[in-house]
């Protein structure tokens, strides 16, 4: 792996999500933001790199709809790691020259999907009710947008909040939110509260809860707090005990925490691509005895399709839906997606799970997302 072309001292809380620093920092988040460990099993021997031979010859319309080979596309779209699993076995992988597949890589909003699975497990154990009001678990939401919402509305992103998801914001509400998580440097003249207090200060938006899909990251940070209160444990420990060790994750994962230790359930988890493939295969195999088959089947149900059609991500999957922080594409696939190019893609028909971890320059690139979807489908069809 080539040496980085900048000094470690050059990477700061102000620039760690920007190229070129992100190519290093996305695998070293705990050096930038305080993080809690999510222990894995540490019991399996990792196999060496496999390469892309099993996928040789596949072609698809890449960026700007131009025909692209898989290897060229992975480089072009700033991929760090790719792992392809078929019927529970890794058949292909790829790493960028600067990337280390053994290091946990930040997965941004794929964290939301892992949080959704953890919630399903806790609900199976009778510790959490999706039908309950949020206030049962977090009374502090009184007076906020969340005061009259249910847990299920929170996990389906159907909360009406006065908050804009603006990843490039440098001076507004989203930037202040990031400061509350510990992800941005503090402003002495305008200090942000801790994450819980920030969330409980968000006001209600127009309309009622449950009417439309409105993707807002603070919802999932609140969901992490709900899970802690419901199960009586810390987020990292709950994730380790109920999901990470259960799937046989070989490496420890991590999750960033704010100044008082509140986990960033919405986007702060780092994990290896191979361990994430195990999580994807858990979903492909309908829960594998770890989370109930009924909960997994509900992810595919499309029962919130109307709210999705009224929402703000329709362009991504026009026939899709969203349930418990997982995307259902409307074409027989399920996906977990994070900014800067993080993906878990699951297609049961071909028994395939694909994990793509990246350090894409832009947080969101709709045209590139569609090219990545074409790549995923080409891989599954190979």
Residues 217-237 have pLDDT tens digits of: 999 999 999 999 999 999 999
Residue 166 is a catalytic residue? no
Average of pLDDT values for 43-70? 84
Burial of residue 12, with CB atoms counted within 10 A of its CB: 0-12 exposed, 13-18 middle, 19 or more buried: exposed
Say whether pLDDT at 276 is over 80: yes
What percent of the chain is predicted at pLDDT more than 70? 98
Query: According to the model, what pLDDT value does residue 65 have?
Result: 77
**In residues, how long is the chain?**
382
Average of pLDDT values for 347-357? 98
Query: According to the model, what pLDDT value does residue 46 have?
Result: 67
Average of pLDDT values for 228-251? 97
Residue 2 pLDDT level (bands cut at 50, 70, 90): low
Say whether pLDDT at 45 is over 80: no
Average of pLDDT values for 140-149? 97
Structure tokens at 107: 């997965």
Query: What is the C-alpha to C-alpha distance for residues 285 and 278, in angstroms, rounded to an integer?
Result: 10
Query: According to the model, what pLDDT value does residue 44 have?
Result: 62
Please tell me the chain's helix, strand, coil percentages from 3-state DSSP, rounded to the nearest 5.
35, 15, 50
Closest of 133, 132, 162 to residue 145, by C-alpha: 162
* Structural domains in the chain plus CATH codes: 8-380 (3.40.710.10)
Query: According to the model, what pLDDT value does residue 232 have?
Result: 98
68, 109, 113, 270: the catalytic one is 109
Closest of 212, 234, 216 to residue 225, by C-alpha: 234
Structure tokens at 239: 């994730």
Q: Return the SS3 of 158.
A: coil
Structure tokens at 380: 């599954």
Each residue's pLDDT tens digit, 288-340 = 999 999 999 999 999 999 999 999 999 999 999 999 999 999 999 999 999 99
Each residue's pLDDT tens digit, 170-191 = 999 999 999 999 999 999 999 9
pTM of the model as a whole: 0.96
Q: Where are the beta strands (DSSP E) in the chain?
A: 35-38, 59-61, 67-69, 79-86, 89-95, 105-106, 253-256, 269-271, 321-323, 326-328, 334-338, 342-347, 352-358
Residue 5 pLDDT level (bands cut at 50, 70, 90): confident
Query: What is the C-alpha to C-alpha distance for residues 48 and 22, in angstroms, rounded to an integer?
Result: 25
Average of pLDDT values for 37-58? 85
Contacts of 366 (CB under 8 A, 6+ apart): 315, 316
To the nearest whole number, what is the mean pLDDT of the chain? Answer: 95
Query: According to the model, what pLDDT value does residue 43 have?
Result: 65
Say whether pLDDT at 48 is over 80: no
Average of pLDDT values for 43-58? 82
What percent of the chain is predicted at pLDDT more than 90? 93
Between 4 and 101, whose confidence is greater? 101
Angle of the 218-231 helix axis to the 110-124 helix axis, nearest 10:
30
Element spanning 231, H or E: helix 218-231
Query: What is the C-alpha to C-alpha distance for residues 353 and 344, in angstroms, rounded to an integer?
Result: 7
């Amino acid at each position: 792996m080539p040496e980085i072309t900048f000094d470690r001292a050059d990477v700061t809380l102000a620039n760690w999500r920007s190229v070129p620093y992100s190519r290093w920092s996305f695998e070293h988040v705990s050096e930038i933001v305080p993080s809690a460990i999510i222990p894995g099993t540490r019991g399996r021997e990792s196999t060496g790199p496999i390469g892309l031979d099993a996928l040789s010859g596949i072609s698809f319309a890449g960026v700007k709809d131009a025909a692209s080979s898989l290897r060229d596309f992975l480089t072009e779209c700033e991929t760090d790691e790719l792992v392809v699993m078929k019927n529970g076995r890794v058949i292909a992988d790829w790493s960028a020259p600067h990337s280390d597949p053994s290091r946990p890589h930040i997965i941004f909003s794929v964290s939301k999907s892992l949080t959704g699975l953890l919630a399903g497990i806790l609900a199976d154990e009778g510790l959490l009710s999706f039908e309950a009001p949020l206030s049962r678990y977090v009374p502090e939401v009184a007076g906020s947008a969340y005061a009259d919402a249910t847990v299920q509305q929170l996990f389906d992103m159907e909360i009406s909040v006065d908050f804009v998801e603006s990843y490039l914001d440098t001076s507004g509400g989203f930037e202040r939110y990031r400061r509350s998580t510990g992800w941005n440097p503090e402003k002495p003249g305008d200090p942000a509260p801790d994450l819980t207090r920030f969330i409980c200060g968000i006001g209600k938006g127009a309309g009622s809860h449950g009417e439309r899909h409105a993707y807002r990251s603070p919802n999932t940070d609140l969901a992490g707090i709900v899970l802690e209160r419901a199960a009586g444990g810390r987020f990292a420990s709950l994730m380790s005990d109920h999901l990470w060790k259960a799937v046989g994750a070989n490496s420890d994962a991590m999750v960033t925490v704010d100044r008082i230790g509140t986990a960033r359930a919405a986007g702060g988890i780092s994990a290896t691509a191979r361990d994430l493939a195990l999580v994807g295969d858990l979903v492909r195999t309908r829960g594998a005895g770890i989370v109930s088959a009924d909960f997994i089947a509900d992810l595919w149900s499309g029962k919130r399709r109307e709210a999705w059609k009224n929402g703000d991500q329709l362009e991504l999957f026009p026939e899709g839906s969203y349930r418990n922080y997982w995307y259902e594409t409307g074409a027989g696939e399920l996906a977990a997606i994070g900014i800067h190019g993080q993906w878990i893609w699951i297609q049961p028909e071909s028994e395939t799970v694909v994990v793509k971890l990246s350090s894409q320059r832009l947080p969101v690139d709709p045209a590139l997302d569609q090219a990545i979807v074409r790549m995923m489908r080409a891989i599954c069809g190979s």
